[in-house]
């Protein structure tokens, strides 16, 4: 008897594959945010030399991730084609086991910081307390209203330093106004200044985070429509070797060579030019990546226009190397944007939110992929459906170039939005400087 929800023997391998993919997604989601956080903990923020080395760690981490991607889309794809898929999965499992052994072997030498609890719970407490006090008629009179903070060296958030008050988002300052002294230990009624500022910091970075999702939307095409183009193009290399379609994204990973060149040659030049120890700020690096993404999708549109007009005879197909510019440009955009994001979020994050901020970067990739699927469905429906629209099953009958022009327009508008967001961004360091300047320019200020 076959019960509801059970699959036949022919369907069971698909179910096993589904579980395997789910486990991979679960493991990746749990691992990647912790890797960057653990790496950050190895650097002492009080040591100037170690602070200068931290950006190099993020670049090396990104480099390592992409080296793994290169091996995956070359070595593993080749092993799967020549031998069998079990070899590709077996090699991946072996690499995972080796990485676990290396991690365990190095654990005695790592610096560890104590868990600080869920930041989202603390965020919710700030929202509830500020709303409650607002409903109870709490008003703030400039800086004259006293705000609550614990009278200890450290904040009451485990292993977190105290944060100075900033004037931005003053509504949430109401969470730190003491209405009833008996509620001092109840964080749902009164929060410390540090807890409120932690939430403010999280809110400040959200516009920057949101304005980079468009890159993930475009990057999703690298493993979908870009590969669809490659599959119908001439992939012959040399006399007899044919590049597997799954290995074509290696063109994007070639941009890895930019990291050593950028670090050794370009950064020193920019450092002398700008005076910034990184050459350019993290926000400027993100902007460079978003700007390059506009040209990446525009290049894809132009190449697709040329491919559609190319002769379709088997021996005169357009070479896959015409896709090289769009892969290289997309890879360059990824390098600048994601490395810039890691540096920016870790600079702005507080002690208790660094893992959360790192996870946000990864969520952005998933959101971009989901938006890509939604955009494809919308354009397919709006342009005439699966058989008459821009995105038909037959690639040679599609108007994929139109789709790429839509992405180019989205990237262009997003870049302009990002410029506004980045220009108006006031980080935690900027607020300290503003307060110092305000004190200096105060008419009542006088030299001692």
pLDDT given at position 436: 36
Contact in structure between 406 and 372 (CB atoms under 8 Å): no
Helix boundaries (H) for 7-147: 12-41, 48-71, 77-82, 85-106, 119-135
Query: Could you give the 3-state DSSP secondary structure of residue 319?
Result: strand
Measured at the alpha carbon of residue 332, what is the angle toward residues 328 and 333, in degrees to the nearest 5?
120
pLDDT attached to residue 4: 36
Give the other-Cβ count within 10 Å of 363's Cβ: 15
Return the percentage of the chain with pLDDT > 70, whole number. Answer: 82
> Which residues have a Cβ under 8 Å from the Cβ of 369 and sit 6 or more positions away?
216, 220
Per-residue pLDDT at 409 exceeds 90? yes
Residue 129 CB neighbour total at 10 angstroms: 25
- In this prediction, residue 437 has a pLDDT band, given cuts at 50, 70 and 90, of very low
Residue 309 CB neighbours (<10 A): 8
Task: Report whether 323 contacts 249 (CB < 8 A).
Answer: no
pLDDT in tens, 319-377: 888 888 998 899 888 888 887 887 788 788 887 777 777 777 778 888 888 888 888 88
- Across 5-14, 130-139, 278-287, least confident range: 5-14
Q: How far is CA 178 from CA 63, 121, 210, 387, in A?
A: 49, 20, 34, 65
Residue 429 — pLDDT band, cuts 50, 70, 90?
Answer: low
Report the chain's mean pLDDT, rounded to a whole number: 78
**Greater pLDDT, 431 or 209:** 209
Supply the CATH classification number for the domain 15-110+211-425.
1.20.1250.20
The SS3 of residue 140 is coil
Residue 186 has pLDDT above 80, yes or no: yes
Question: According to the model, what pLDDT value does residue 411 have?
Answer: 94
Residue 73: which of 224, 228, 250 has the closest Cα? Answer: 250
Q: Domain spans of the chain? A: 15-110+211-425, 119-202
Residues in the chain: 448
Best-predicted range by mean pLDDT (136-145, 344-353, 372-381, 425-434): 372-381
What is the pLDDT at residue 447?
33
Does the pLDDT value for residue 209 go beyond 80?
yes
Query: Which residues have a Cβ under 8 Å from the Cβ of 336 and sit 6 or more positions away?
Result: 285, 286, 288, 289, 292
- Residue 404 pLDDT > 80, yes or no? yes
Each residue of 258-278: pLDDT tens digit? 667 777 777 777 777 766 666
Whether the CB-CB separation of 349 and 37 falls below 8 Å is answered with no
DSSP SS3 for 180: coil
In terms of Cα–Cα distance, which of 37, 94, 55 is closest to 71?
Answer: 94
- pLDDT of 419: 93
Between CA 133 and CA 139 the distance in angstroms is: 9
Q: Is the pLDDT of residue 6 over 70?
A: no
Q: Looking at the predicted structure, is the pLDDT value of residue 433 above 60? A: no
Its pTM stands at 0.75
pLDDT digits (tens, 9 = 90+) for 168-183: 888 888 888 887 777 7
pLDDT for position 376: 86
Question: What average pLDDT does the segment 422-448 reach?
Answer: 50
- Closest of 238, 280, 249 to residue 263, by C-alpha: 280
Q: What is the pLDDT of residues 288-331, one digit of tens each?
A: 999 999 999 999 999 988 887 776 555 457 888 888 899 889 98
DSSP one-letter string for 229-291: HHHTSB-EETTTEE--GGGTTHHHHGGGGHHHHIIIIIHHHHHHHH--TTSS-HHHHHHHHHH
pLDDT tens-digit map of 410-424: 999 999 999 999 988
| Of the candidates 331, 308, 334, 335, the residue with the CA atom closest to the CA atom of residue 401 | 308
Is a pLDDT exceeding 70 seen at residue 21? yes
User: So what's the pLDDT on residue 417?
Assistant: 94
Per-residue pLDDT reduced to its tens digit, 151-171: 877 777 776 788 888 888 888
Comparison of pLDDT for 303 and 394, the residue scoring more: 303
Nearest CA-CA partner of 156 in 191, 128, 111: 191
Cα angle 38, 43, 48 (rounded to 5 degrees) comes to 160
Exposure letters 221-233 (e unless 16+ CB within 10 A, then b):
bbeebbbebbebb
**Residue 12 pLDDT level (bands cut at 50, 70, 90):** low
* Structure confidence at residue 105 (pLDDT): 86
Asked if 253 and 70 count as a contact pair (C-beta separation under 8 A), the reply is yes
pLDDT of residue 24: 80
Q: Is the pLDDT of residue 398 over 80?
A: no
Across residues 417-438, what is the average pLDDT?
Answer: 67
């Amino acid at each position: 008897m076959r019960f509801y929800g059970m699959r036949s023997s022919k369907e069971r391998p698909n179910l096993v594959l589904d579980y395997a993919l789910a486990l991979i997604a679960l493991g990746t989601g749990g691992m990647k945010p912790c890797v960057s956080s653990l790496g950050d903990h190895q650097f002492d923020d009080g040591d100037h030399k170690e602070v200068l080395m931290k950006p190099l760690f993020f670049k090396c981490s990104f480099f390592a991730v992409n080296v793994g991607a290169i091996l995956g889309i070359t070595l593993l794809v080749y092993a799967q084609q020549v031998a069998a898929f079990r070899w590709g999965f077996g090699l991946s499992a072996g690499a995972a086991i080796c990485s676990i052994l290396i991690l365990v072997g190095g654990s005695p030498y790592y610096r560890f910081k104590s868990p600080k609890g869920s930041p989202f719970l603390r965020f919710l407490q700030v929202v509830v307390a500020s709303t409650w006090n607002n409903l109870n008629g709490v008003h703030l009179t400039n800086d004259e209203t006293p705000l609550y903070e614990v009278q200890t060296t450290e904040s009451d958030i485990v292993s977190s330093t105290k944060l100075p008050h900033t004037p931005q988002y003053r509504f949430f300052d109401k969470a730190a106004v003491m209405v009833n002294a008996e509620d001092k230990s109840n964080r749902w009624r009164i929060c410390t200044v540090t807890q409120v500022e932690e939430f403010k910091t999280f809110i400040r970075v959200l516009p920057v985070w949101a304005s980079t999702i468009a890159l993930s939307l475009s990057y999703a095409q690298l493993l979908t429509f870009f590969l669809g183009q490659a599959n119908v193009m001439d992939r012959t290399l040399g006399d007899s070797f044919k590049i597997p379609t799954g290995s074509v994204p290696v063109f994007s990973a070639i941009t890895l060579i930019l990291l050593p060149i950028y670090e050794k040659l370009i950064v020193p030049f920019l450092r002398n030019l700008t005076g910034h120890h990184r050459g350019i700020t993290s926000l400027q690096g993100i902007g460079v990546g978003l700007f390059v993404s506009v040209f990446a999708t525009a290049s894809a549109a132009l190449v697709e226009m040329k491919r559609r007009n190319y002769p379709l005879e088997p021996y005169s197909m357009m070479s896959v190397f015409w896709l090289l510019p769009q892969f290289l440009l997309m890879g360059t955009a990824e390098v600048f944007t994601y490395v810039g994001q890691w540096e920016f979020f870790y600079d702005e994050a507080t002690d208790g939110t660094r893992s959360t901020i790192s996870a946000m970067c990864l969520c952005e990739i998933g959101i971009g992929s989901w938006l890509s699927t939604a955009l494809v469905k919308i354009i397919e429906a709006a342009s005439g459906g699966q058989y008459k629209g821009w995105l038909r099953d037959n690639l040679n009958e599609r108007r994929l170039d139109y789709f790429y022009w839509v992405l180019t327009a989205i990237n262009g508008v997003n870049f302009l939005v990002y410029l506004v967001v980045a220009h108006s961004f006031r980080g935690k360091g900027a607020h300290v400087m503003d307060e110092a300047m305000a004190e200096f320019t105060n008419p009542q200020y006088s030299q001692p």
